[in-house]
Amino acid sequence: MPIRPIIGPDNPVLRRKAKTLDNPNIPALQQLIEDMIETMRAAPGVGLAAPQVAVSQRLAVIEYAEPPENAPEDAEPPEPKLYVIVNPEIVARSEVMVDGTEGCLSLPGYAGNVMRHQAVTVKALNRRGKPIKVKARGWLARIFQHEIDHLDGILYIDRASKVWRVEADEAAADPGLRE
């Protein structure tokens, strides 16, 4: 499973609305999913949309675990959950909006403040074409919104109130900078 190159905003695929997939359960798409998971983990990131690897299809992978509230600093981190979402659609959004710092694997070295819904409900197909519904809150909701934006040709910098350059050690320590 090869690691695929992650494209930047100079590639027009990143700014295009991605195409809907008819049947995700085909070998070529399963290979793309495996490649995207490996690419996301190697980057390292918490989410990756197909347009970020120059494939204009409505597909994203997300891997994240919300740390438990009030957990001691030396606590073992929870096991992250992997989501493969095909043709995702946000079907419900909280009215509450929260400001947070985001980064992007397609824009390395930069971060920005972005207002997002605190919670979302996403309907999609899983990697085998079965319908799923995910209710996400907090950072996980932010990651889903960020990746679905990619599928619509939107980058976080389009929504950011402020964008700045970050140091490599800052990006490595903050999961919001690895979306």
Pairwise CA distance, residues 42 & 173, whole Å: 15
Told to judge if 147 belongs to the known catalytic residues of this protein, a careful annotator would answer yes
Residues 38, 69, 76, 147: which is the catalytic one?
A: 147
**Mind giving me the DSSP string for 5-71?**
PPP-TTSGGGGSPPBPPS-S-SHHHHHHHHHHHHHHHHTT-SEEEGGGGT--BSEEEEEE-PPPTT-
Q: What is the CA radius of gyration of the chain?
A: 15
The secondary structure of residue 105, as a DSSP letter, is: T
User: Which residue, among 29, 31, 39, has the nearest Cα to 3 in the 3D structure?
Assistant: 39
Backbone angles phi, psi at 60, to 5 degrees: -145, 155
Q: Which residue type sits at 39?
A: T
The residues carrying an active-site annotation are 147
